[in-house]
Protein backbone atom coordinates (compact mmCIF):
# COMPACT_ATOMS: atom_id res chain seq x y z
CA UNK A 1 0.00 0.00 0.00
CA UNK A 2 1.21 3.49 -0.85
CA UNK A 3 1.72 5.21 2.49
CA UNK A 4 0.60 8.48 0.91
CA UNK A 5 -2.85 6.97 0.37
CA UNK A 6 -5.46 7.19 3.10
CA UNK A 7 -5.34 3.90 4.98
CA UNK A 8 -8.57 4.43 6.91
CA UNK A 9 -11.56 6.72 6.54
CA UNK A 10 -14.98 7.04 8.17
CA UNK A 11 -17.48 9.86 7.96
CA UNK A 12 -18.62 11.02 11.41
CA UNK A 13 -21.27 13.70 11.01
CA UNK A 14 -22.65 16.23 8.56
CA UNK A 15 -23.57 19.79 9.53
CA UNK A 16 -26.39 21.46 7.60
CA UNK A 17 -27.91 24.93 7.54
CA UNK A 18 -31.70 24.78 7.27
CA UNK A 19 -34.29 27.55 7.22
CA UNK A 20 -36.81 26.25 9.77
CA UNK A 21 -35.77 23.89 12.54
CA UNK A 22 -39.25 22.65 13.51
CA UNK A 23 -40.07 21.80 9.90
CA UNK A 24 -36.71 20.07 9.39
CA UNK A 25 -36.99 18.07 12.61
CA UNK A 26 -40.40 16.82 11.55
CA UNK A 27 -38.91 15.64 8.28
CA UNK A 28 -35.68 14.17 9.61
CA UNK A 29 -37.42 12.35 12.46
CA UNK A 30 -40.76 11.24 11.02
CA UNK A 31 -40.06 10.99 7.29
CA UNK A 32 -36.42 9.89 7.28
CA UNK A 33 -36.16 8.15 10.64
CA UNK A 34 -33.39 9.81 12.60
CA UNK A 35 -33.47 9.83 16.40
CA UNK A 36 -33.36 13.33 17.89
CA UNK A 37 -30.48 13.25 20.36
CA UNK A 38 -30.56 16.94 21.32
CA UNK A 39 -32.54 20.03 20.38
CA UNK A 40 -31.81 23.46 21.79
CA UNK A 41 -32.56 26.88 20.39
CA UNK A 42 -31.82 26.91 16.68
CA UNK A 43 -29.74 23.73 16.69
CA UNK A 44 -30.37 20.00 16.85
CA UNK A 45 -28.33 16.81 16.87
CA UNK A 46 -29.67 13.66 15.23
CA UNK A 47 -28.47 10.10 14.96
CA UNK A 48 -29.35 6.52 15.83
CA UNK A 49 -30.85 4.93 18.98
CA UNK A 50 -27.39 4.09 20.37
CA UNK A 51 -26.61 7.84 20.51
CA UNK A 52 -24.35 7.81 17.46
CA UNK A 53 -24.35 11.36 16.06
CA UNK A 54 -24.78 11.58 12.28
CA UNK A 55 -26.38 14.95 11.58
CA UNK A 56 -26.24 18.43 13.09
CA UNK A 57 -28.81 21.02 12.06
CA UNK A 58 -28.41 24.79 12.37
CA UNK A 59 -31.46 26.90 11.58
CA UNK A 60 -31.19 30.35 10.00
CA UNK A 61 -34.42 31.90 8.76
CA UNK A 62 -32.42 34.38 6.66
CA UNK A 63 -30.37 31.74 4.86
CA UNK A 64 -31.04 31.55 1.12
CA UNK A 65 -30.89 28.59 -1.23
CA UNK A 66 -27.90 28.22 -3.56
CA UNK A 67 -28.61 28.88 -7.21
CA UNK A 68 -29.37 25.74 -9.21
CA UNK A 69 -26.20 26.01 -11.31
CA UNK A 70 -23.80 26.49 -8.39
CA UNK A 71 -21.14 24.12 -7.15
CA UNK A 72 -21.81 22.59 -3.73
CA UNK A 73 -23.53 19.62 -2.15
CA UNK A 74 -25.36 17.32 -4.56
CA UNK A 75 -26.40 14.94 -1.80
CA UNK A 76 -25.25 13.36 1.42
CA UNK A 77 -25.79 9.62 1.58
CA UNK A 78 -27.10 7.59 4.50
CA UNK A 79 -25.83 4.00 4.44
CA UNK A 80 -28.20 1.54 6.10
CA UNK A 81 -26.92 -1.81 7.39
CA UNK A 82 -28.71 -4.14 4.98
CA UNK A 83 -31.15 -4.51 2.12
CA UNK A 84 -34.07 -5.30 4.42
CA UNK A 85 -33.64 -1.92 6.13
CA UNK A 86 -33.64 -0.18 2.74
CA UNK A 87 -36.79 -2.05 1.74
CA UNK A 88 -38.50 -1.07 4.98
CA UNK A 89 -37.51 2.55 4.43
CA UNK A 90 -38.90 2.54 0.90
CA UNK A 91 -42.18 1.04 2.09
CA UNK A 92 -42.35 3.70 4.81
CA UNK A 93 -41.75 6.54 2.34
CA UNK A 94 -44.55 5.17 0.18
CA UNK A 95 -46.92 5.04 3.13
CA UNK A 96 -46.05 8.63 4.00
CA UNK A 97 -46.58 9.60 0.34
CA UNK A 98 -43.36 11.57 0.45
CA UNK A 99 -42.00 12.18 -3.07
CA UNK A 100 -38.78 10.52 -4.13
CA UNK A 101 -36.67 12.04 -6.89
CA UNK A 102 -34.92 8.86 -7.94
CA UNK A 103 -34.39 5.16 -7.28
CA UNK A 104 -31.34 3.47 -8.83
CA UNK A 105 -29.41 0.23 -8.95
CA UNK A 106 -25.73 1.17 -9.17
CA UNK A 107 -24.44 -2.40 -9.20
CA UNK A 108 -22.47 -1.96 -5.99
CA UNK A 109 -25.49 -0.48 -4.19
CA UNK A 110 -29.23 0.14 -4.34
CA UNK A 111 -30.29 3.71 -3.67
CA UNK A 112 -33.31 5.92 -3.06
CA UNK A 113 -33.08 9.67 -3.58
CA UNK A 114 -35.17 12.44 -2.07
CA UNK A 115 -34.90 16.04 -0.87
CA UNK A 116 -35.52 17.63 2.50
CA UNK A 117 -37.94 20.59 2.87
CA UNK A 118 -35.13 23.01 1.93
CA UNK A 119 -34.23 21.07 -1.21
CA UNK A 120 -31.07 19.48 0.25
CA UNK A 121 -30.34 16.26 -1.62
CA UNK A 122 -30.33 12.98 0.32
CA UNK A 123 -29.54 9.42 -0.72
CA UNK A 124 -30.52 6.43 1.40
CA UNK A 125 -28.76 3.29 0.22
CA UNK A 126 -27.63 -0.24 1.02
CA UNK A 127 -24.43 -1.77 -0.28
CA UNK A 128 -24.31 -5.08 -2.01
CA UNK A 129 -21.74 -7.58 -0.80
CA UNK A 130 -18.25 -6.51 -1.89
CA UNK A 131 -17.89 -9.71 -3.92
CA UNK A 132 -20.62 -8.34 -6.25
CA UNK A 133 -19.24 -4.84 -6.76
CA UNK A 134 -16.93 -5.32 -9.72
CA UNK A 135 -17.81 -6.57 -13.19
CA UNK A 136 -16.07 -9.12 -15.36
CA UNK A 137 -13.42 -6.55 -16.29
CA UNK A 138 -12.54 -6.01 -12.64
CA UNK A 139 -13.77 -2.42 -12.69
CA UNK A 140 -16.56 -0.79 -10.72
CA UNK A 141 -19.66 -0.36 -12.87
CA UNK A 142 -20.75 3.07 -14.06
CA UNK A 143 -24.45 2.34 -13.77
CA UNK A 144 -27.68 3.97 -12.69
CA UNK A 145 -30.20 1.35 -13.70
CA UNK A 146 -33.80 1.57 -12.48
CA UNK A 147 -34.25 0.11 -9.02
CA UNK A 148 -36.31 -3.10 -8.99
CA UNK A 149 -38.78 -1.69 -6.50
CA UNK A 150 -41.20 -4.63 -6.33
CA UNK A 151 -38.35 -7.05 -5.75
CA UNK A 152 -36.90 -4.85 -3.03
CA UNK A 153 -40.21 -4.41 -1.23
CA UNK A 154 -40.58 -8.19 -0.83
CA UNK A 155 -38.17 -8.01 2.11
CA UNK A 156 -39.76 -4.96 3.77
CA UNK A 157 -40.73 -4.95 7.43
CA UNK A 158 -42.32 -2.30 9.64
CA UNK A 159 -40.17 0.84 9.65
CA UNK A 160 -38.88 1.83 13.08
CA UNK A 161 -36.37 4.47 12.03
CA UNK A 162 -32.68 4.22 11.19
CA UNK A 163 -31.24 1.38 13.28
CA UNK A 164 -27.91 1.08 15.01
CA UNK A 165 -25.20 0.56 12.41
CA UNK A 166 -26.53 3.29 10.12
CA UNK A 167 -23.72 5.62 8.99
CA UNK A 168 -22.95 8.46 6.63
CA UNK A 169 -21.72 6.47 3.64
CA UNK A 170 -20.58 9.13 1.19
CA UNK A 171 -20.99 12.70 0.03
CA UNK A 172 -21.43 13.83 -3.56
CA UNK A 173 -20.59 17.33 -4.78
CA UNK A 174 -21.04 19.54 -7.79
CA UNK A 175 -17.60 21.06 -8.44
CA UNK A 176 -16.19 23.57 -10.89
CA UNK A 177 -13.21 21.51 -12.07
CA UNK A 178 -12.35 17.80 -12.02
CA UNK A 179 -8.57 18.46 -12.36
CA UNK A 180 -8.74 20.72 -9.28
CA UNK A 181 -10.76 18.06 -7.48
CA UNK A 182 -8.23 15.37 -8.37
CA UNK A 183 -5.32 17.49 -7.23
CA UNK A 184 -6.93 18.07 -3.83
CA UNK A 185 -8.65 14.76 -3.10
CA UNK A 186 -6.15 12.37 -4.69
CA UNK A 187 -2.80 14.17 -4.62
CA UNK A 188 -3.20 15.97 -1.29
CA UNK A 189 -5.66 14.01 0.84
CA UNK A 190 -4.63 10.63 -0.55
CA UNK A 191 -7.93 9.15 -1.71
CA UNK A 192 -7.78 6.57 -4.49
CA UNK A 193 -9.77 7.18 -7.71
CA UNK A 194 -12.43 4.51 -8.22
CA UNK A 195 -14.60 5.80 -11.08
CA UNK A 196 -13.63 8.43 -13.64
CA UNK A 197 -15.50 9.87 -16.61
CA UNK A 198 -13.23 12.41 -18.26
CA UNK A 199 -13.78 15.94 -17.00
CA UNK A 200 -17.30 15.16 -15.77
CA UNK A 201 -17.03 12.66 -12.90
CA UNK A 202 -14.48 11.54 -10.32
CA UNK A 203 -15.28 9.15 -7.48
CA UNK A 204 -12.67 8.62 -4.77
CA UNK A 205 -12.41 6.34 -1.76
CA UNK A 206 -10.19 4.73 0.86
CA UNK A 207 -9.91 1.09 1.93
CA UNK A 208 -11.29 -0.25 -1.35
CA UNK A 209 -14.75 1.29 -0.91
CA UNK A 210 -16.70 2.17 -4.06
CA UNK A 211 -16.72 5.88 -3.13
CA UNK A 212 -16.51 8.02 -0.06
CA UNK A 213 -16.75 11.17 -2.19
CA UNK A 214 -18.37 11.77 -5.56
CA UNK A 215 -17.45 14.82 -7.63
CA UNK A 216 -19.07 16.01 -10.85
CA UNK A 217 -19.18 19.03 -13.16
CA UNK A 218 -22.82 18.55 -14.18
CA UNK A 219 -23.53 22.18 -13.21
CA UNK A 220 -20.82 23.25 -15.64
CA UNK A 221 -17.07 23.68 -15.49
CA UNK A 222 -16.30 26.89 -13.68
CA UNK A 223 -19.59 26.78 -11.75
CA UNK A 224 -19.87 29.52 -9.14
CA UNK A 225 -19.22 28.51 -5.53
CA UNK A 226 -21.95 28.91 -2.90
CA UNK A 227 -21.55 31.74 -0.43
CA UNK A 228 -21.02 31.10 3.27
CA UNK A 229 -24.24 30.82 5.25
CA UNK A 230 -26.40 29.53 2.43
CA UNK A 231 -28.82 26.65 2.99
CA UNK A 232 -27.00 23.34 2.67
CA UNK A 233 -23.71 21.94 3.90
CA UNK A 234 -21.86 23.84 6.62
CA UNK A 235 -19.06 21.36 7.29
CA UNK A 236 -18.38 17.66 7.62
CA UNK A 237 -16.31 15.65 10.09
CA UNK A 238 -14.37 12.46 9.38
CA UNK A 239 -12.12 10.08 11.28
CA UNK A 240 -8.79 8.87 9.91
CA UNK A 241 -5.94 6.84 11.38
CA UNK A 242 -3.29 8.65 13.40
CA UNK A 243 -0.61 8.07 10.75
CA UNK A 244 -2.90 9.54 8.09
CA UNK A 245 -3.63 12.54 10.30
CA UNK A 246 0.10 13.03 10.96
CA UNK A 247 0.92 12.88 7.23
CA UNK A 248 -1.74 15.48 6.40
CA UNK A 249 -0.31 17.69 9.15
CA UNK A 250 3.28 17.27 7.91
CA UNK A 251 2.37 18.23 4.37
CA UNK A 252 0.27 21.12 5.73
CA UNK A 253 -2.88 19.92 3.97
CA UNK A 254 -4.78 20.34 7.23
CA UNK A 255 -4.35 22.82 10.07
CA UNK A 256 -3.31 21.82 13.57
CA UNK A 257 -7.02 21.57 14.47
CA UNK A 258 -7.56 19.10 11.62
CA UNK A 259 -9.55 21.47 9.45
CA UNK A 260 -9.20 22.19 5.74
CA UNK A 261 -11.35 23.79 3.05
CA UNK A 262 -11.36 22.21 -0.41
CA UNK A 263 -11.07 24.31 -3.61
CA UNK A 264 -14.87 24.49 -3.78
CA UNK A 265 -15.58 25.82 -0.30
CA UNK A 266 -16.32 22.53 1.48
CA UNK A 267 -15.07 22.62 5.09
CA UNK A 268 -13.66 19.37 6.48
CA UNK A 269 -12.69 18.57 10.04
CA UNK A 270 -10.45 15.50 10.38
CA UNK A 271 -9.56 13.77 13.62
CA UNK A 272 -7.86 10.51 14.53
Residue 2 has pLDDT above 60, yes or no: no
The arithmetic mean of pLDDT across residues 42-56, rounded, is 98
- Write out pLDDT tens, residues 55-109: 999 999 999 999 989 999 999 999 999 999 999 999 999 999 999 999 999 999 9
Q: Please answer whether residues 54 and 15 qualify as being in contact, where contact means their C-beta atoms are separated by less than 8 angstroms.
A: no
The pLDDT value recorded for residue 3 is 57
Q: Is the pLDDT of residue 134 over 90?
A: no
3-state secondary structure of 123: strand
Lowest average pLDDT, out of 53-57, 131-135, 177-181, 224-228, goes to 131-135
The pLDDT assigned to 46 comes to 98
Measure the CA dihedral 27/28/33/38, to 10°: -130
Q: Which residues pair with 213 in a beta bridge?
A: 171, 204
Asked whether the predicted pLDDT for residue 1 surpasses 60, the reply is no
Q: How many CB atoms lie within 10 A of CB 91?
A: 18
Q: Where are the alpha helices (DSSP H) in the chain?
A: 21-26, 83-96, 149-153, 178-182, 242-250
CA distances from 61 to 16, 65, 91, 254, 267 (A): 13, 11, 33, 32, 22
Q: Is the dihedral of CA 156, 162, 165, 170 positive or negative?
A: positive
Q: What's the fold here for domain 10-271?
A: 2,3-Dihydroxybiphenyl 1,2-Dioxygenase; domain 1 (3.10.180)
* Model confidence pLDDT, tens digit, residues 182-221: 999 999 999 999 999 999 999 999 999 999 999 999 999 9
Ranges of each domain in the chain: 10-271
Which pTM value belongs to this model? 0.96
Amino acid sequence: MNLDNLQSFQWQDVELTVSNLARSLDFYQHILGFTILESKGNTAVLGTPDNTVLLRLYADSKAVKPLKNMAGLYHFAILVPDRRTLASFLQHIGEKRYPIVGASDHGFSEAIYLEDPDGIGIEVYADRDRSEWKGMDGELPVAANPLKIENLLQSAEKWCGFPEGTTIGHLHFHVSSIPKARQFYVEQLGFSPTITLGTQVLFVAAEGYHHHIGLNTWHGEGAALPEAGMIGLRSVTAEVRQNDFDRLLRQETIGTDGSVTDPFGVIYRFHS
